[in-house]
Chains A and B, each alone.
Chain A
Amino acid sequence: MSSKSQKAVLVRGLSKRYRIPGRNNGGRAQTFWALRGVDLEVDPGEVVGVIGRNGAGKSTFLKVLTRITPPSEGFVELCGRVGSLLEVGTGFHPELTGRENIYLNGAILGMRRAEIRASFDAIVTFAGVERFLDMPVKRYSSGMYVRLAFAVAAHLRSEILLVDEVLSVGDADFQRRCLGKMRDAASGGRTVLFVSHHLESVAALCSRAVVLESGQVSYDGEVSGGLRAYAQAFGKVSRVSARRSPGSIPNSGVAIVEVEPANPCFGCTESKRIRVQVSCGREQRVPYFVSLHVVDARGAVLLQCDSRLKGGWIRPEEGAHSRVDLEFVLRGPWLKPGCYRIDAFVCASGILDRLEGAAEFTVVPPLPYEGGIPEEATAQGAVLPDFEWSVVQRSCGASPPVDGALSGPGTLASAVNG
């Protein structure tokens, strides 16, 4: 084995079995496989996102990799020093001061004392707790606590970094710094295994995705494909049950047979093709139109794709039973990652047929913007804007706004400068 082909992480047939004490079946213990035959090879410097639903085995996988729990079968080989960020703040003691906790936590994470001393200032600066170093951490705000904990862990010099959901804590600014730190780790040639639910950070950070599904690897490859596979795995369990309610015109003979997206998941900017099949009885004489509503997870109707807006009405076959296949292509606007429901309507002078929750599709990250995007930058809008901005005019040394209400543009300009 030459050192070039040496994998940073090599996992072969990894299985983890738990015994569940059975009360239901006569007290016999049942076995449950949290992991079943997982194979994985990670090259040095790769950043791999491990995603999967709750209970898919992600945490067990990390626990085995970090040697917290031994595997039942198979083996793992890790080449190089391993650092893990399993839960921020583990090993912090509330009664100890920030300074004492830095040393303690560093040692728990496997750092030598000299190493901690060397990066002590960097840790304190990163966490921004200079003034509170000699205060017990139980008096810290939760934000400071988390920042300090992450800072210690982030300064552990290891070849392999195992990260579990750390980004779910802290404010947006801190999350961005964490992501930046992890990106640095990756670009510095370190191998990162990142286990997360947070698909956007996986998309932003990882070069490869592994999807775990009931303890097995169901996908291993490109990130975009991984996010799709993950969304599909989601789709398997939560199917919206379509609810058909009678239209206002009874016995029209017009019915929506099927609504189906071309793909169960789309990228944010991708054209979303949705096929609709409508059957039309011979009773129907007058033209009708089809309308699709795209409803987001909160129940807001985002888009009303009404066929009247583009080309108008559909004329039924004269005196014959007909079946029409339509295709809607939704190009804009960009949708935010998430789950969407389609309600379909067929109408003439009133509603002929309606099918709520006729189909469902998922929009998966990455976001169509450059750089690390804090979550709150997209939190407010219902959809994602396709926009540009630029500084048109900048006035330097202009007299400060007299009116307090005019301070807005000033701060904006300083923000741009900063």
Chain B
Amino acid sequence: MEPEDAPPQKGAEGEDSSRKIRRIQPAEGWGGEQLFAWARELWEYRDLLWSLAVRDLRLRYRQTALGVLWVVFQPLAGAGIFAVVFGWVAGFSKGKEHYFLYSMAGLLAWNCFQSTFLKASMSVVANGALVAKVYFPRMLLPLSTVLSTMVDLCIGLGAFSVVAWTEGCPPSFGLLWLPCWVGLGLLFALGMGMMAAALMTRFRDVQHVLPMLLPFFLYATPVAYGLESVPERWRMILGLNPVSWMVQGVRSGLCRFEGVPWNGMVYSTGVALAAFLVGGLCFRRMERSLADVL
């Protein structure tokens, strides 16, 4: 980049801030030096972020007879299956008085991660027609998936509290930690999702691999069981997965608060942030040449 071509800032700030010079030049490297301009652009397009998110929400249950009820049914049905398969058949419910609630809380947390991760990873390829025709910061596509996850979570939590109330399970102060754990999970999911999305634009194989790998990941995450019921030497390995801590944290906040596992919190914050940064950079590197490979 030639230093003499720094865009001349002109005009008073208030007068016409949109009349700035935009320079288009070959994409090179990781584009770290333009990170600031890029972040500002993301901010300028915040309305589109909202529109895309609302579009996803609107489309999801259009032309369905039950509409938004599906959001309630899905976690309930999932928890029911878990309660039957793991609680009753496999006997995981030993020592847990409200196993249905226990697995429902775990599933809510897991779904938060999974749906964001899957949708974010598919977001670019699914919107290929749009990406090939109009410019906008591509990162809005994975980012916009968060809203529908949040809506799902809120509705799921509503259903959960109804069930908890009927079962006589009072809320605890651990609930205050919930946003923190959910935020961590989403950050990690977005990071991984962006990585997968970047990879998927070149290799559609990812599209087939993910649905295959996710169930393994689900069973390796303490959703149906607790981390404490895992043998000591395996606990370390499961603890490497930040989603484990997130699921544990959300569940402890929802069911019976057992304090915050600080080492797990610090560790998973670090991993989630790293994943988000690496995913974002991968995504950004791929983003410019997107229209040519898609």
Give Cα distance in the complex from A3 to B8, angstroms. 10
Give Cα distance in the complex from A75 to B10, angstroms. 20
Q: Which residues of B contact A68 (CB under 8 A)?
A: 131-135, 291
Contact B26 A71 (CB under 8 A): yes
Please judge, given known A-B contacts A69-B292, A70-B26, A159-B19, whether A104 and B134 are in contact too, CB under 8 Å: no
Contact B292 A64 (CB under 8 A): no
Binds A, one of B51-59, B254-262, B274-282: B51-59
Give Cα distance in the complex from A18 to B291, angstroms. 12
Q: Which residues of B contact A113 (CB under 8 A)?
A: 47, 50-51
Q: Which residues of A contact B48 (CB under 8 A)?
A: 107-108, 110
Contact B45 A110 (CB under 8 A): yes
Give Cα distance in the complex from A341 to B54, angstroms. 58
Against B, the Cβ 8 Å flags (1 = close, 0 = not) of A100-125 are 10011001111111000000000000
Nearest chain B CB to A198 CB, angstrom units: 20
Against B, the Cβ 8 Å flags (1 = close, 0 = not) of A262-298 are 0000000000000000000000000000000000000
Give Cα distance in the complex from A100 to B54, angstroms. 10
Interface residues of B in 130-170 (CB under 8 A from A): 130-136
Q: Which residues of A contact B55 (CB under 8 A)?
A: 93, 96, 100, 104
Nearest chain B CB to A240 CB, angstrom units: 38
- Give A109's nearest chain B residue, CB to CB: B134
Q: Is A73 an interface residue (CB 8 A)?
A: yes
Q: Which residues of B contact A64 (CB under 8 A)?
A: 24
Q: Is A67 an interface residue (CB 8 A)?
A: yes
Nearest chain A CB to B174 CB, angstrom units: 38
Give Cα distance in the complex from A3 to B26, angstroms. 26
Residue of A78, A82, A84, A107 most packed against chain B (CB within 10 A):
A107
Contact A65 B24 (CB under 8 A): yes
Contact A93 B18 (CB under 8 A): no
Residue of A68, A79, A80, A90 most packed against chain B (CB within 10 A):
A68
Against A, the Cβ 8 Å flags (1 = close, 0 = not) of B1-44 are 00001011011000000111111111100000000000000000
Give Cα distance in the complex from A289 to B238, angstroms. 99
Q: Which residues of A contact B289 (CB under 8 A)?
A: 69-70
Q: Is B96 an interface residue (CB 8 A)?
A: no
Q: Which residues of B contact A108 (CB under 8 A)?
A: 48, 51, 130, 134, 136
- Give A91's nearest chain B residue, CB to CB: B130
Q: Is B63 an interface residue (CB 8 A)?
A: yes
Give Cα distance in the complex from A80 to B55, angstroms. 29
Q: Which residues of B contact A91 (CB under 8 A)?
A: 130, 133-134
Q: Is B77 an interface residue (CB 8 A)?
A: no
Contact B133 A80 (CB under 8 A): no
Interface residues of A in 164-223 (CB under 8 A from B): none
Q: Is B129 an interface residue (CB 8 A)?
A: yes
Please judge, given known A-B contacts A84-B134, A108-B136, whether A103 and B51 are in contact too, CB under 8 Å: yes
Give Cα distance in the complex from A259 to B20, angstroms. 56
Nearest chain B CB to A136 CB, angstrom units: 8
Give Cα distance in the complex from A270 to B11, angstroms. 49
Give Cα distance in the complex from A78 to B25, angstroms. 11
Contact B24 A67 (CB under 8 A): yes
Interface residues of A in 37-72 (CB under 8 A from B): 63-72
Give Cα distance in the complex from A80 to B22, angstroms. 8
Q: Is A1 an interface residue (CB 8 A)?
A: yes
- Give B288's nearest chain A residue, CB to CB: A70
Q: Is B233 an interface residue (CB 8 A)?
A: no
- Give B10's nearest chain A residue, CB to CB: A3
Q: Is B94 an interface residue (CB 8 A)?
A: no
- Give B55's nearest chain A residue, CB to CB: A104
Contact B51 A104 (CB under 8 A): yes
Q: Which residues of A contact B11 (CB under 8 A)?
A: 3
- Give A112's nearest chain B residue, CB to CB: B47
Against B, the Cβ 8 Å flags (1 = close, 0 = not) of A119-156 are 00000000000000000000000000000000000000
Q: Is A76 an interface residue (CB 8 A)?
A: yes
Q: Is B208 an interface residue (CB 8 A)?
A: no
- Give B59's nearest chain A residue, CB to CB: A95
B22 touches which of A18, A77, A87, A100 (Cβ 8 Å): A77
- Give A44's nearest chain B residue, CB to CB: B19
Give Cα distance in the complex from A70 to B287, angstroms. 10
Give Cα distance in the complex from A332 to B146, angstroms. 68
Nearest chain A CB to B41 CB, angstrom units: 10
For the A-B complex with A1-B8, A108-B130, A108-B134 known, give 9 more contacts whose Cβ atoms are closer than 8 Å.
A3-B11, A67-B24, A67-B135, A68-B132, A76-B23, A93-B59, A96-B59, A103-B51, A159-B19
Supply 28 A–B pairs (Cβ within 8 Å), ascending by A.
A1-B8, A6-B10, A64-B24, A68-B131, A68-B132, A68-B291, A70-B24, A74-B26, A76-B23, A77-B22, A78-B24, A80-B18, A80-B19, A90-B129, A90-B133, A91-B133, A91-B134, A95-B62, A96-B55, A96-B58, A96-B59, A100-B58, A103-B51, A107-B47, A107-B51, A108-B48, A110-B45, A112-B47
B-binding residues in A (CB < 8 A): 1, 3, 6, 18, 63-82, 84, 86-87, 90-91, 93, 95-96, 100, 103-104, 107-113, 159
